[in-house]
Amino acid sequence: MIKPHGSDKLNPLFVMDAKERDALAKEAESLPSIVVCSAAAANAVMLGSGYFNPLTGFMNKADTLSVAEGMKTASGVFFPVPVVNMIQDASAIKGAKRIALRDPNVEGNPVLAVMDVKAIEELTDDELKMITEKVYRTLDPEHPGVAAFTTVGKVLVSGPIKVLNFSYFDVEFPETFRTAYQIRDEMQKLGWNKVVAFQTRNPMHRAHEELCRMAHADVKADGILIHMLLGKLKKGDIPADVRDAAIRKMVELYFPPNTVLITGYGYDMLYAGPREAVLHAVFRQNCGCTHLIVGRDHAGVGSYYGPFDAQTIFDDIPKGSLEIEIYRADHTAFSKKLGKVIMMKDAPPGHTKDDFVLLSGTKVRTMLAAGEALPPEFARPEVAEILMKYYQSEEGK
């Protein structure tokens, strides 16, 4: 198991001691407070969970600009995206040295974390534009990540935080939500040293399943970490509880026991393509994984990124920035000629696109909504059944 990013030991910002946590929660009720945006709440959860190691809180303006420009903080710590608490108006906390951060995603807006305020700074329009362009590679307001990032405000509230809870994630997903330190503990108990991680915000079809098997065999891993995003997604993406059920069914039926850990983390999707792929690598190194599968259009959306930009970015980051290794995957699909799932780049001469079972996301959704079975070469029938129930429900229509 490899060491965390940026330190020898993982330093999660969740307050482990119950007495200290209770005392902080009591203190927080009398502190000036702000209801943060969903992205900042998710950042707090990730800081508390240890996924953002070695950060100690929200970045200030200098760090934010430096990370956006060159993927390192002003002091030189490698980090691929700014981790910020951006708000519209700081008048409620003006002059405060210590504040409570309230959760926008839980009824009643309970306190999520306590923060020591080091600076309150405003980004200029040009600075906000630069950050957006560097992180998302586009300024298009139709891009879901850009839309979320550019509409929450331009005021940065920075400083170290102490996290008191994990928002709704451990309550709504008790079997799946895991912190980075919990995953490390579980892998240690299983005796796993070499672990390949698979990131997903979608249900897993046959191609994803086989890709995990390929990577597991190729790197001679002890186990596979299937690690799903549990936070906010764009409209049209499948809810986390449906994905969770589909993935659990697939692993239960088609993987040997004790070879896969099914877990999830509390973060909102950025859809930032290459930059988010590097962030995913940071998460998995902090979990203790040795390899991360990075496939075609990893963390992308629409046509904003090239199909393999999320792989080639790893060629450009400074050597030694991360210890985790990247398993580079091509588009993977079932070959009718060979009778199995392969990476398309490995297809023998004579293979054409027509020799593969390929379905677009739109086609899959249309078939499932109409009650049509997906080809078994594309999706396991038990997985397709779970998805079909969702698409035929009121929620999925």
Q: What is the pTM of this model?
A: 0.94
Asked, colleague to colleague, whether 18-170 and 174-391 share their fold, the answer is no
Task: List 391's β-bridge partners, or say none.
Answer: none
Whole-number CA gyration radius for the chain:
21
pLDDT tens profile 50-107: 999 999 999 999 999 999 999 999 999 999 999 999 999 999 999 999 999 999 999 9
**Residue 358: predicted pLDDT:** 87
Cis peptide before 376 (omega within 30 of 0): no
**Residue 52: predicted pLDDT:** 98
Catalytic site residue 202? yes
Q: Can you identify the CATH homologous superfamily of domain 18-170? A: Sulfate adenylyltransferase (3.10.400.10)
d(CA 113, CA 139): 31
**Residue 362: predicted pLDDT:** 78
Catalytic site residue 328? no
Q: Is residue 178's pLDDT more than 80?
A: yes
Average pLDDT over all residues of the chain: 95
The residue type at 221: A
**Residue in 201, 206, 243, 275 annotated catalytic:** 201
- Do the Cβ atoms of 85 and 101 come closer than 8 Å? yes
**Residue in 11, 109, 193, 202 annotated catalytic:** 202
**Residue 76: predicted pLDDT:** 96
d(CA 373, CA 380): 10
Share of the chain above pLDDT 90, in %: 84
d(CA 201, CA 127): 30
Residue with tokens 């998460």: 283
- Do the Cβ atoms of 294 and 277 come closer than 8 Å? yes
Cα distances from 220 to residues 95, 190, 217, in angstroms, run: 55, 16, 5
3-state secondary structure labels for all residues of the chain = CCCCCCCCCCCCCECCCHHHHHHHHHHHCCCCEEECCHHHHHHHHHHHHCCCCCCCEECCHHHHHHHHHHCECCCCCECCCCCCCEECCCHHHCCCCEEEEECCCCCCCCEEEEEECCEEEECCHHHHHHHHHHHHCCCCCCCHHHHHHCCCCCEEEEEEEEECCCCCHHHHCCCCECCHHHHHHHHHHHCCCCEEEEEECCCCCHHHHHHHHHHHHHCCCCEEEEEEECCCCCCCCCCHHHHHHHHHHHHHHHCCCCCEEEEEECCCCCCCCHHHHHHHHHHHHHHCCCEEEECCCCCCCCCCCCCCHHHHHHHHCCCCCCCCEEEECCCEEEECCCCEEEEHHHCCCCCCHHHEECCCHHHHHHHHHCCCCCCCCCCCHHHHHHHHHHHCCCCCC
**Residue 14: predicted pLDDT:** 98
Structural domain boundaries in the chain: 18-170, 174-391
Q: Is residue 326's pLDDT more than 80?
A: yes
The topology under which CATH files domain 174-391 is Rossmann fold (3.40.50)
